Amino acid sequence: MAPRVEAYRAPARLMHWLTVLFVVSTIPAGVIMVQEGLSRPLQNSLFIWHKNIGVVILVLVVARLLYRAAHPPPPLPASLSPGQVRIAGLTHWGMYGLLLVMAVSGYVRVRAGGFPIEALDAMGVPPLVPRSDALANTAKAIHFWARFPLVLLILMHVGAAAFHGIVKRDGVFSRMWPGRA
Ligand code: HEM
């Protein structure tokens, strides 16, 4: 059984697993929707899902950062070396940063390109960037390239979590698992 290690608070764990759910569905949707030969209705549905959930991810990441500033994460167990703690910190901040880059560049690509974001349009939120093909193309390139380091960090993060949860069983994984007090 894993040793008792102080867990993240419930709101932090909820926001973490919602981010997982949304990111894990947004990345494949983004990759599939730009493929040639898709039926129009499928492509439209994927675009609508991708754009609107992408905005939800942006809001969620900002909320997580604000919550984290008010409630710093519990310390990692002393069994981790300073190097491991440092790599974990760099991975976490890298993921936050790249999620923000992906979400903001996606937003700018769509708004500067003059396209709708259905949920924001329904709420009457106006575009926050001007219509500009040059801006849209720059944002498109950033959106295309930033996914590679993001996916790399996600794989490192999942690998480390699995290593702690399955091999080491040192309580690090269960800090973020739902249902811990
Ligand atoms: C963290 C959130 C996001 C992630 C991880 C993400 C990921 C991706 C990925 C992997 C692609 C495929 C890139 C390609 O193969 O060309 C893509 C494409 C795209 N994404 Fe996102 N995205 C996010 C947020 C957004 C947001 C908020 C919007 C707009 C509101 C958006 C709009 C688009 C568009 C329009 C494309 C098609 C690219 C093009 O050809 O213009 N994304 N996204």
- Is the distance from the beta carbon of residue 64 to the nearest atom of ligand 1 less than 6 Å? no
The amino acid at 149: P
Task: Specify the ligand 1 atom closest to the Cα of 100.
Answer: 1
- The DSSP code sequence of the chain is -PPP-PPPPHHHHHHHHHHHHHHHHHHHHHHHHTSTT--HHHHHHHHHHHHHHHHHHHHHHHHHHHHHHHSPPPPPPTTS-HHHHHHHHHHHHHHHHHHHHHHHHHHHHHHHTT---HHHHHTTPPPSS---HHHHHHHHHHHHHHHHHHHHHHHHHHHHHHIIIIII-SSTGGGTSTT--
**Higher pLDDT, residue 153 or 4:** 153
pLDDT value, residue 5: 80
Confidence label for 179 from pLDDT (cuts 50, 70 and 90): confident
Q: Write the CB contacts of 47 (distance below 8 Å, at least 6 apart in sequence).
A: 33
Residue boundaries of the structural domains of the chain = 10-175
Q: How far does the centroid of ligand 1 lie from the alpha carbon of residue 25, in Å?
A: 12
Residue nearest (by alpha carbon) to ligand 1 atom 32 = 106
- Is the distance from the beta carbon of residue 107 to the nearest atom of ligand 1 less than 6 Å? yes
The whole-chain average pLDDT of the chain stands at 95
The CATH T-level fold of domain 10-175 is Fumarate Reductase Cytochrome B subunit (1.20.950)
CA distances from 67 to 9, 25, 27, 148 (A): 10, 24, 25, 27
Residue nearest (by alpha carbon) to ligand 1 atom 19 = 30
Confidence label for 17 from pLDDT (cuts 50, 70 and 90): very high
The terminus-to-terminus CA distance of the chain in angstroms comes to 16
pTM here is 0.94
- Is the distance from the beta carbon of residue 50 to the nearest atom of ligand 1 less than 6 Å? yes
- pLDDT tens track for 102-148: 999 999 999 999 999 999 999 999 999 999 999 999 999 999 999 99
Placement of tokens 């480390």 in the chain: 160
Confidence label for 70 from pLDDT (cuts 50, 70 and 90): very high
Residue nearest (by alpha carbon) to ligand 1 atom 31 = 106
- Mean of pLDDT values over 2-25: 91
- Mean of pLDDT values over 59-72: 98
pLDDT value, residue 180: 60
Best mutation site among 20, 26, 36, 50 for ligand 1 pocket (most ligand atoms within 8 Å of CB): 50
Q: How far does the centroid of ligand 1 lie from the alpha carbon of residue 175, in Å?
A: 31
Q: Write the CB contacts of 93 (distance below 8 Å, at least 6 apart in sequence).
A: none
In contact, 96 and 58? CB cutoff 8 Å: no
